[in-house]
Amino acid sequence: MDSYKESDPWNTSSNAWKKDDDPVVPTINSDSDFNRISSEFNTLNISASLEPNEEDTGFLPADDVVEESIWDDNRNTLGGGGIHRTSSIMTNETVADQNDAENSNSEETETDIYDWSNNIRRTYRPLAADIITIEEIPEREGLLFKHANYLVKHLIALPGTSPSEDRTVIRRYSDFLWLKEVLLKRYPFRMIPELPPKRIGSQSADQIFLKKRKIGLSRFINLVMKHPKLSNDDLVLTFLTVRTDLTSWRKQATYDTSNEFTDKKISQEFMKMWKKEFAEHWNQAASCIDTSMDLWYRITLLLERHEKRITQMVHERNFFETLVDNFGEITPKLYPVQQNSTILDINNNLSIIKKHLETTSNICTQETEEVSEKLSPKFKIFTDILLSLRSLFERYKIMAANNVVQLQSHVELNKEKLESMKGKPDVSGAEYDRIKKIIQKDRRSIIEQSNRAWLIRQCILEEFTIFQETQFLITRAFQDWAKLNSNYAGLKLNEWEKLVTSVMDMPITRE
């Protein structure tokens, strides 16, 4: 049977956390504690009621057990119908019937997985238009350190809110920071977008920094509103609709920040649907996330460098235009008209060249604006998504730990103590009852922690399934990149062709 560490898709000792250039080795659990997992833990039903039973002797009822450990991805049954053993002696007909049943169950599971995945993916539309706009309010508040206010507007009616003609609120960067912290507390195992960085020193007056931060805040809140779970969060809707100052509201209001797993139990349907391949897919994604981010960052960086080169080209063409204009004013002095009037024709064509430089400069300016405002954000939004996925992996390593194995060892030791007490008249009944209660408490804790582990597994699988839809952001980014370059290359080519036709008429002889 696979141990917990072996089958846990996010185990920090697994191949998922190795760098790309590290040799891949099988994940093997050498800890003797894991090898001593008893049949008692293997038969825990974590979907059973977590309420303590007053008559419980410290052991789970026979009807609330399953055949395999929840961490064994090769199990066949997960229902709470008791332990089902198969005889080692089976006829050919029995084997055939069993194979048919297994194939049937496998087909049903594949159908369940397909339907579940499709239903999850339909809830997320990363290519949908943004529904939140953000504009910086010019007036800045503060005595020593000025802070910017942002006008946040939702373009459509939000779920669970009262219709209102005025859909705008005023927020500060600190309000966005509060919202992110709240989301991390409530949804630690979901893809929470990153915020643009805080200002540093004189950056508060840097218009380029402020513009980038405004765009980053827009990406953050729109990613939140496109997420099927986060978009319906009551505090997210409060952030977008409460007209009063949010800092004052937070001081007066009482709101819950407990995580989404509170009082929630894993469903038998999900446990039956689970396949080991999911863990393998997660591990592959985790192992290449840093490389993926590095490659995409370089692609985006080259796009930005291309934008800067076009901007530099605009400056050069403007300078070129000025030089040609000045040169046209000098040529009649070099070539007096009395000597030959062809210089006038040449100057006329210099004016055409000047006009060409002005037109192509305007085209390049439009191109840089479109790259900056429309194309570059499509590449950066995918960077934000990759970063949120990587942060999810990192939070799992920190927050998803449990002490099930230690508790199980503790249960085994106390069970041995109970056995040793039986038949001894000098043993205190109170001591015997105390140990039974400790066993009961530990076993309940095992069930609760196992339930939480399964909920985390389901949550991250949902997020990874949602993430699959973001592949179309790659398509859209490169489609728009190709169309933009093709469009402006065509406009520039048209201007060059017109110029070639014109300069071909420039005189090259006095006749």
Distance CA 128, CA 135 (A): 20
CA 443 to chain centre: 35
Give me the sign of the Cα torsion angle 350, 356, 362, 368: negative
Distance CA 194, CA 215 (A): 13
Mean pLDDT, all residues of the chain: 80
Is the pLDDT reported for residue 154 higher than 60?
A: yes
Q: What is the pLDDT of residue 165?
A: 67
Nearest Cα residue to 11 out of 279, 210, 333 = 279
Between residues 413 and 56, the one the model is more confident about: 413
Residue 30: Cβ within 10 Å count: 8
- The residue-averaged pLDDT of 7-23 equals 41
**Band (8; pLDDT cuts 50, 70, 90):** very low
Q: Give me 305's structure tokens.
A: 């460098």
* pTM, 2 dp: 0.76
State pLDDT tens for residues 212-245.
899 999 999 999 999 999 999 999 999 999 989 9
Sequence-distant contacts of 350-357: CB under 8 A, at least 24 apart: 350/324, 352/499, 352/502, 352/503, 353/324, 353/499, 353/503, 354/321, 354/324, 354/325, 354/328, 356/495, 356/496, 356/498, 356/499, 357/317, 357/318, 357/320, 357/321, 357/324
State pLDDT tens for residues 467-507.
999 999 999 999 999 999 999 999 999 999 999 999 998 99
- The residue-averaged pLDDT of 7-29 equals 40
Q: SS3 of 158, please?
A: coil
Is the pLDDT reported for residue 422 higher than 50?
A: yes
% of the chain with per-residue pLDDT over 70 = 75
State pLDDT tens for residues 167-179.
899 999 999 999 9
Identify the residue whose tokens are 């006329």: 348
Is 502 exposed, middle or buried, given 0-12, 13-18 or 19+ CB atoms closer than 10 A?
middle
Distance CA 168, CA 137 (A): 12
Q: Where are the beta strands (DSSP E) in 20-96?
A: none
State pLDDT tens for residues 195-211.
998 876 555 567 888 88
Residue type for position 296: W
Q: What is the pLDDT of residue 200?
A: 66
Is the pLDDT reported for residue 62 higher than 60?
A: no
- The residue-averaged pLDDT of 437-444 equals 94
**Band (127; pLDDT cuts 50, 70, 90):** very high
In this structure, are residues 41 and 109 in contact, taking their beta carbons and an 8 Å threshold?
no
255 to each of 176, 326, 469, how far by Cα in Å? 17, 69, 32
Residues, the chain, total? Answer: 511
Mention every residue, 6+ apart, whose C-beta is less than 8 A from residue 89.
none
Angle between helices 276-334 and 376-399 (to 10 degrees): 150
DSSP states of 215-277: HHHHHHHHHHHHSTTGGG-HHHHHHHH--S-HHHHHHH-------TTTT----HHHHHH--HH
Is the pLDDT reported for residue 135 higher than 90?
A: yes
Mention every residue, 6+ apart, whose C-beta is less than 8 A from residue 379.
296, 299, 300, 303, 477, 481
Identify the residue whose tokens are 């069930």: 447
Mention every residue, 6+ apart, whose C-beta is less than 8 A from residue 24.
15, 18
Residue 444: Cβ within 10 Å count: 18
Is the pLDDT reported for residue 420 higher than 90?
A: no
